[in-house]
Structure 1
Amino acid sequence: MMFIQKIIICNIFAYYGRVEVNFGEKIEGKNLYCIYGNNGFGKTSFINACKILFLGTGLKEGNIPHSLKHLAPSATSPKKFIKGNEHYRGILNTNACDENKEDFYIIFEGFLQDKKFRVQRTWEGVHTQEINETLELKIDNQSYYNEEAQEKLNICLLPTNFVDFFFFNGEEIGEISENIRKGLRDKIEEILKIKPLDIILREIEKYKRELKEKQADDDKTRLDYKIKNRELESLNEKIEHYKKLYKEKSDDLENNKQHISQKTYEHQKIIADDDKEMQKLYDEKNKLEIELEEHKEKLSDSLKNIIFMSNKSLTNTLKQELHTLKSHSRKEDIEVFNRLLPEIKEITQTYLQENPEINSQEINYVMMNALENIPKALATKNTYHSKISNANALMLERAFIRLEYINLYQDINEMKECKIALKDTKTEIEELKIDDYKQERKQNLEREIKQLRDEQNELEHQKRESENDLKQVIEQKKEIEREIYHLNQKINTERIDNELHFLQELEQSIKNYREKLIIKLRFELRDKILKKYKNLLPNDNIKDLVIDENFEIALKNDKDGLVIIESQSSGQKQILAIAIFWALSELSKAQIPLIIDTPLGRIDGQNRVRIIQNYYAQNLQTIILPTDTEVSKREYEYAKSHIARLYKIENSDDRGHARINNAMIDEIL
């Protein structure tokens, strides 16, 4: 079992200067170490530094390790991966580089079973073109360097194929798990140490060739046989090389396409968001312009009625005139009555004739006489002559009534507010058109997409080349095998038949054992993944899990129907990935600490508790880097009995001076 006592990061990513995290001695029953940190403070920097310690940057090999390429898709070489480019800062702390610091390294110290170990990866000459990367591994008193150290690291501490299973970002676990599921058989063979059987099979084949070679009757046949077999061996190595290269280019191309899709989506989203926001602003502008016109019309009407109100004498005179008109007869009224008198008389006589009970000569005389005298009587009364006609008097009276309900201040204020709102909306539209940040972001994305498409074209070309090379080498191999077959016909193998037969039987037995072992491991893996998944998500709709001969994983529901993994929620996919990781680590019997960034980001509250109590509560040392919203007081209470120590990441405003300090829970939550 491995236990990490100390992690030291010096001037790598967000960590400035020598930053040391001391985990102390192992405490029985307490295996959980929580390093809290806000987003952007250095949690991801920590996990990536741990990965780089074991994987390296590929500087000597000339290729960035596959597990690290996603950190810098635009980095085309290990040197650019280390030092950065215009799109990526590199792994070296920017402030330390600006200040010409010389120390850049990552260190793990601890125990492996009962032996002390110390592993350190260092970068030297970072301010020159000849940057150098060194690796030192010390186990007890034995030291190893560079290639030998990497080989020992893979054998004794953490094989490179295990890194993604033990050091990972919870936000990326679904993607990691997807890559694992796509090539699970290869991973199984590597992780579960089936590869040594392939080495034995190759050695048997080599020994068979050597036996046959010795039985050749003449030197020429013996030499030809030896040369052809060496050529065949060389071609087999080339085939493996080109297969690996073809797979790497295919994987790189797939990752490249995913990055293009992601960047294109981001670019389209900015445009779509801009369009939505712009449309919203234009709709608001149109609405305000209509409202402003309505306010103008309303104010215009108000002003028409109120324009003379500033002249108090005029308004008082008009009001007095209207009052006098109401209380006096008017000459115009008597003239109107005289014009209408004949009609009034005619109507009166008609009425009397139609009503004989009241019709008499006397009544008729009285009525006609009264009508004739009404104008004379009115003329003797107090009559009044006005320049305001009756129609105009009525209009003025109504106007004065309206004025009582007019609030000119409110109308003016509403129009003023509408104008301000319209001006602000127009300003927002102009600002949106020239939003420097968004424009810069769009331009950067366009550059990144162009660069990725250029890389895509190059990768497609390299993939075609490796495919053609592979086909060519396979054809060469077929030709060599034909030549070896003909040479075999010339060799008398009677004296070694028993040995050859034994070797063939041994070879077949190992092949059979290998296949049976793979089948056994396949079923064991299926049982373990399903058990872990149900432990973590007992009420899920997944009732069964199937792993076929190619180690492709399929999920089934309670009706035995297939469940498409990609259709599952982010939380379900993350829990499935955890179950796969957990099962593989158990099958490999590797007792390696877990280091997990953003461990519970996509998991709901109830399932967080299950992960803490099951996955994190194993006997393995587990270092998690959560935010205070992931492992809040509720989760902390469930995890408290397993927690050995608490830490907190602090950082400056420029996010380039991260430190990790011991902390109490009250300082964090």
Structure 2
Amino acid sequence: MIFEQVTLNNFGIYQGEHIVDLNITDHTKPVVLFGGLNGGGKTTFLDSLQLALYGKNAKCSNRGKLSYSDYLKQAVNRYSENKSASVALSFRHTQRTQTKRYEVIRSWEATANKEITDKVQVRVNGELDKLLTDNWNDFVSEFIPQSMSELFFFDGEKIEDLADPARSAQLLKTGIEALLGLELFTQLSKDLNSQKRRRQERNLDSTASKKVEELKQRKELLDNNLLGIEKNIQNILDEENALTDQLKDIEIQMQTSGANLLDDVNDIQLDRRAIASQLEAIDHNLIKLAAGAMPLSLAQTLLQETKQQALLEDEVTGFDNAQKHIKANNDELIKRLKATATNDVAEQVDQLLNSIWKESKDSLSQEKYLNTNPIIFDFAETAIESDKTESEELIKQKKELQETLALLDKKLDAVPDSESVKEQIEAKGRIEASIAHSKTTLDSLMEEMALCKTQMNENEARLDATLIQQNAEDFEGKRNEQVAEHLVEMRDIVDAFKAQLIEENIATLEKRIKSKFDSLERKSELVAKVKINPETFNLTLLGLDGLALDTKRLSAGERQLLSVAILWALAEASGKEIPTIIDTPMGRLDGKHRTKLVENYFPEAAGQVILLSTDEEIAGQYYKKLKRSVAKEYHISYGEEAKTSTITEGYFGESA
């Protein structure tokens, strides 16, 4: 199944008509990416998809305890002159080799003091299909069963709760029963049990009948009690979801006012003092460098000229020393010539040698005023270059530290006076206390529900025992008992087959959940094995030591990844090609966890993946990593002047 187009008309925050193309044609690019700030209309868009498909059974985010009529009324855009609204979803679905295009149009009109009902139209390949239109609530389960919708439509921030064993157990139970069609087995087992009791009740004497009636009344009382407990649990969960939304709103307010920084003031001040200390150390080192050879770099040209002068003086000194030896040799040569040759020859050689000596002396005539060894300039140049390199590195470090210091000062400036945000802090505290109270109440209700189920099982056993003991011995009684025994055998066979089917598929599901979690969790050695109890459906994580891991030891991000792994595994096990829609996909994850989702989950979650992200989630490197898998990009923004949200192509300024 591929969602092709959504049309919103005066729905929620969307005034007027808004048409969004969701069609996917390239299987290597399954992602349709929506970007929008909180409160801009992302969740409303997700609600429109569920409302179009499921109507009054849709699990819309802001419905709460409203009746369906009241919800439809408040879903009409408040600024629209026309008090009618509609949502339409078109999708294509392939069965065997035949592909059809379906369009579901759900519309309603808000009228004063009147119950509101919606009108559904279903078109197949452009033609109105009356059968589907009249029976859509039954037919929709063929495409996406209501019991499985949570596997494909979910809020990324709220699914963290599924890591809790009690909550994940209910999802796993619902998912597995929906995948295997176990509702039929459960109903068959109940029907067989009812038939058995009818047969046995025919053989009861008056005393036994009275006892059975009492046990049946107790059974009815326990059933009603269980329904009441389950209703209370759902109310607590709804209340907790509402409180969570309120907490999110107050946290956004505190972030805007800077109140969230109050808890971090001490850490910021410690960081600032550490940075200031480092800057002081750098300044001290720069002063030491300034007191060394480095200032000579200012007279680099003069230093080079001085070095050249020293080299010339050194050369002249060498020449003078050499000339002394040459002069002595020349004198010895003339002396020997005078002894062996004529005076004229000796005189000519003497004049010639004197002329050569004078020319050499004149060519190297140089004033000597430095009288120093040139090698000291090499040492100076090396010292200057070393100090210069060190000073440049220190200056670079100083600039970076100054920028960090400015950022910390900016944070400190943003910290408000505690008195000015006192109401926000107190409001957050009250909401957190209410959430904690809800969790405590929920735990208590869970225990109460477990106790009620135990009492129901005990009452069931007593009822069965009473029915068996009081069977009459006549022919009809024996016949009824025989039939009842066969019915028990049939029920046991059905229950055994159901249990075996669950156990076999749970083993496969355990491996799927472990595999998906490993592909998402960067610490793959954290969980060695995943176990699911085939009776309670409670999920247990086992560490490398074989001992159970408490999910409370996992971080918020790790719990969210575990929940994603559960949903991913169940969706994959369903074998249904259904789009996956995720609102706020990475709200509580750190960088590495986000990378795992972007690289391993989003491109593989389904044939079509619709992501509704804020500007702080899929951005920067994550956007670049996901880009190659993105088919379409949209930006959802609210216009204060127009009083409506709009959906335009492009993602936070990126071209589509």
| Length-normalised TM-score, structure 1 | 0.59
Shift of 1:496: 6.7
Residue 501 (structure 2) aligned to one of 514, 517, 542: 517
Residue 155 (structure 2) aligned to one of 151, 169, 174: 169
The verdict on how the C-alpha distance between 1:521 and 1:629 changes in structure 2, with shifts beyond 3 A counting, is same
- Pair 1:640-2:619 in alignment: no
- Pair 1:527-2:515 in alignment: no
Matches within 5 A, 1:53-452: 53-57=52-56, 67-68=59-60, 71=62, 75=65, 77-83=67-73, 90-96=74-80, 99=81, 101-113=82-94, 114-137=99-122, 142-143=129-130, 148-153=135-140, 155-178=141-164, 180-184=167-171, 186-192=173-179, 193-208=181-196, 240=223, 242-253=225-236, 256=239
**Matched residues, number:** 490
Whether the 8 Å CA contact 2:185–2:494 is kept in 1: the answer is yes
Structure having the higher Rg: 1
Shift of 1:610: 3.0
Residue 537 (structure 1) aligned to one of 521, 531, 541: 521
The verdict on how the C-alpha distance between 1:467 and 1:25 changes in structure 2, with shifts beyond 3 A counting, is closer
RMSD (Å) for aligned C-alpha atoms: 5.1
SS in 1 for 2:187: helix
- Pair 1:568-2:554 in alignment: yes
Shift of 1:172: 1.8
For structure 1, list consecutive stretches of 5 or more residues without a partner in the other structure: 59-64, 84-89, 281-424
The verdict on how the C-alpha distance between 1:166 and 1:261 changes in structure 2, with shifts beyond 3 A counting, is closer
**Letter matched to residue 236 of structure 2:** L
**Letter matched to residue 92 of structure 1:** V
**Letter matched to residue 542 of structure 1:** L
Matches within 5 A, 1:442-591: 488-489=471-472, 492-495=476-479, 501-549=485-533, 550-591=536-577
The verdict on how the C-alpha distance between 1:233 and 1:145 changes in structure 2, with shifts beyond 3 A counting, is farther
* C-alpha distance in 2 between matches for 1:204 and 1:136: 40
The verdict on how the C-alpha distance between 1:143 and 1:661 changes in structure 2, with shifts beyond 3 A counting, is farther
Whether the 8 Å CA contact 2:639–2:645 is kept in 1: the answer is yes
The verdict on how the C-alpha distance between 1:536 and 1:159 changes in structure 2, with shifts beyond 3 A counting, is same
Whether the 8 Å CA contact 1:54–1:163 is kept in 2: the answer is no
The verdict on how the C-alpha distance between 1:130 and 1:159 changes in structure 2, with shifts beyond 3 A counting, is same
The verdict on how the C-alpha distance between 1:458 and 1:130 changes in structure 2, with shifts beyond 3 A counting, is farther
Shift of 1:266: 9.2
Whether the 8 Å CA contact 2:110–2:116 is kept in 1: the answer is yes
The verdict on how the C-alpha distance between 1:662 and 1:612 changes in structure 2, with shifts beyond 3 A counting, is same
* C-alpha distance in 1 between matches for 2:558 and 2:444: 37
* C-alpha distance in 2 between matches for 1:275 and 1:30: 39
Name 1:296's counterpart in structure 2.
none
Name 1:627's counterpart in structure 2.
614
Moved more, 253-262 or 586-595: 253-262
Task: Map Cα deviations across residues 292-343 of structure 1 (whole Å, 9 max, x no partner).
Answer: xxxxxxxxxxxxxxxxxxxxxxxxxxxxxxxxxxxxxxxxxxxxxxxxxxxx
* C-alpha distance in 2 between matches for 1:589 and 1:540: 26
Whether the 8 Å CA contact 1:35–1:646 is kept in 2: the answer is yes
* C-alpha distance in 1 between matches for 2:632 and 2:431: 42
Whether the 8 Å CA contact 2:259–2:425 is kept in 1: the answer is no
**Letter matched to residue 630 of structure 1:** E
Shift of 1:528: 0.7
**Letter matched to residue 199 of structure 1:** Q
Shift of 1:160: 2.2
- Pair 1:652-2:601 in alignment: no
* C-alpha distance in 2 between matches for 1:609 and 1:173: 18
| Length-normalised TM-score, structure 2 | 0.60
* C-alpha distance in 1 between matches for 2:515 and 2:442: 40
Whether the 8 Å CA contact 1:164–1:176 is kept in 2: the answer is no
Shift of 1:9: 2.0
**Letter matched to residue 36 of structure 2:** G
Whether the 8 Å CA contact 2:72–2:108 is kept in 1: the answer is no
* C-alpha distance in 1 between matches for 2:205 and 2:29: 69
**Letter matched to residue 3 of structure 2:** I
* C-alpha distance in 2 between matches for 1:629 and 1:260: 23
* C-alpha distance in 2 between matches for 1:267 and 1:23: 33
SS in 1 for 2:566: helix
Whether the 8 Å CA contact 2:637–2:645 is kept in 1: the answer is yes
SS in 1 for 2:472: helix
Whether the 8 Å CA contact 1:228–1:484 is kept in 2: the answer is no
Name 1:616's counterpart in structure 2.
602
* C-alpha distance in 2 between matches for 1:4 and 1:617: 16
The verdict on how the C-alpha distance between 1:180 and 1:109 changes in structure 2, with shifts beyond 3 A counting, is farther
* C-alpha distance in 2 between matches for 1:23 and 1:494: 66
* C-alpha distance in 2 between matches for 1:508 and 1:471: 20
Shift of 1:530: 0.7
Identity of aligned residues (%): 20
* C-alpha distance in 2 between matches for 1:33 and 1:171: 19
* C-alpha distance in 2 between matches for 1:512 and 1:457: 36
